[in-house]
Amino acid sequence: MTASKNPDGLTAIALNATLKTSTNGASSTQSMLKLVLDQLARHGVAGEIVRLADHDIKPGVTSDEGEGDAWPELRRRILAADILILGTPIWLGQPSSVCKRALERMDAFLSETDDEGRMVSYGRVAAVAVVGNEDGAHHVSAELYQALNDVGFTLAPNAVAYWVGEAMGSVDFQDLQTVPDKVSSTAAMLARNTVHLARLLKDNAYPGEA
């Protein structure tokens, strides 16, 4: 299907928080994020995927942790986009450590405000993508929803797409011959709602302090 026109020029960045670097093999989280970006493209939104494990993101809670820190450039790209998709696998029932590190670095947004007290992340919309082999998607998405909202992002209704396999199973999302209809329809709903909200916020900024 041809992507619809997007006069707003909306853009998206998807952060892949797999534990694998690009040289260490395929990623089910990557496959899920591609599905979500494909749905966003149907609404004319241009997007890119960044595999966080490929970058040297230093531990910390500031926007720049010094020499060699890859976060400042990633931060710039996140804030340049209208939509952020945060994708993570489930490990031990939790978001990946790579995902948590990215959220820790976004904690700096809490104190990075404009003259009207609005965080630098205000007006940007976030959504979540989760993959795993046991039933932890609701718990993980709840953690990410709360964290993303805390650091200034807005989330639309039903802003999560996920897939979980059979407990203790050996099949990954990337191994599926076809994407389940429910996963496809959920990703489509995520895209519709997220783009709609992003357009609204682009035209109507949040109010600042009086």
CA distances 145 to 23, 126, 150, 207, Å, are: 30, 9, 9, 22
Whether residue 77 has pLDDT greater than 80 = yes
Is residue 82 domain-resident?
A: yes
Region 58-76: mean pLDDT is 98
**Percentage of residues in the chain with pLDDT exceeding 70?**
97
**Are 85 and 15 a contacting pair, CB within 8 Å?**
yes
Is residue 209 domain-resident?
A: no
**Are 160 and 194 a contacting pair, CB within 8 Å?**
no
Among 2-11, 45-54, 98-107, which stretch is predicted with the lowest mean pLDDT? 2-11
Region 28-37: mean pLDDT is 98
pLDDT in tens, 81-116: 999 999 999 999 999 999 999 999 999 999 999 999
CATH number of the domain to which 187 belongs? 3.40.50.360
Alpha helices in the chain (DSSP H): 28-41, 71-80, 97-106, 137-150, 181-203
Is residue 132 domain-resident?
A: yes
Residues 6+ apart with CB under 8 A from 154: 123, 124, 125, 126, 197, 201
Which structural domain range is residue 167 located in?
11-203
Is residue 5 domain-resident?
A: no
Number of domains in the chain: 1
Is residue 94 domain-resident?
A: yes
Residue 4's pLDDT is what? 54
